[in-house]
A = this chain, B = another copy of it.
């Protein structure tokens, strides 16, 4: 991407917009596993330049029924943010629990380069980051993963661990058996990956090298208890991601090596909210090799994942590069771009008022009419 080109004003300075269908088609075009692998490459690159980013915990607005968050991040070259909600009871309105969109902007000018649905990209980057962590934390030769919670993220976690962490068997459990059936059906044709529906968490964990928990209840749940966890297991705890929402019994944490994305945020939102003084490493340290992901074959390791804005930055830059290469989406006039930037008024007065006035405007006065000429 040539910065000069971006900064030179074209006849039309427009923002690329990828709606949800555009993103889905783009991911399908690349291939979903290939997309996860590419996003994982972006996440790894960005985590390895951790200190170049201006980081902050997300800005969360909580209500009785859910949360709405803004997640900003910048590396001094690009500014990215994600809008995302979490409403566990949205199913009653046939709406997704999580919906997301976001923007990538040029720090040099503030111009928004890309606006995109991030619902799908969030699933990709979450799965990609989980698999990246597992590469560094799970025992070599891991083949079987227990997958507890078979909701919207289940296929993406499955494909990520298949493509990146050597998983060939997934023992899948959900309190809703139809969710597991859907997962098995959706991935039935993926070569070399077997989905085994099971009837309990305990059954899922039988023989598992890796355990992924990705349940959705906004409660302090205890999906895993200490006696279920075998020496050497890697736990990928994805579902606990806000205050009051956890999945692991605290004693599991006390006996394990703990890795998080960004400690200040994870201490508020992650499994470790149950244990404020928990010793943790950050994923970037593990990826950089400055902190161990695992000390021995019998160690229990936990990636306590809550989702961090940097991962969305990675997803957004992957979307932007991929969309540019494939000319995906369309251009929109997201922000006003008067030919003379100081003449916002004059630009506005060129607009065709008739275009959006289906009937006579009741509020037009004689003075307004005069002014409009």
Contact = CB atoms under 8 A, between A and B. Distances in A.
Interface of A: 7-9, 13, 17, 19-34, 38, 54, 56, 59, 61, 63, 65-68, 70, 72, 74, 76, 79, 81, 83-87, 90-91, 93-97, 99-101, 103, 105, 107-112, 115, 117-120, 123, 151-156, 179, 182, 186, 189-192, 323, 326-329, 332-358, 361, 363-365, 367-368, 370-373
Contacts of A85: 105, 109-111
Given A20-B336, A25-B353, A357-B29, A54 B59 contact: no
Copy number in the complex reads 2
A23 B115 CA distance: 18
B152 A326 contact: no
Contact of A105 (B68, B105, B353, B372): B68
Interface of A is mostly: mixed
A155 B349 CA distance: 11
A109 B123 CA distance: 19
Contact of A151 (B9, B20, B336, B342): B342
Contacts of A109: 65-66, 85, 87, 90, 93, 95
Contact of A19 (B28, B119, B329, B332): B332
B76 A63 contact: yes
Given A9-B93, A93-B109, A151-B342, 20 more contacts: A7-B93, A8-B93, A13-B95, A20-B334, A21-B333, A25-B353, A28-B352, A30-B361, A32-B371, A33-B367, A59-B70, A68-B105, A70-B72, A95-B111, A95-B337, A155-B345, A182-B342, A186-B346, A190-B370, A191-B367
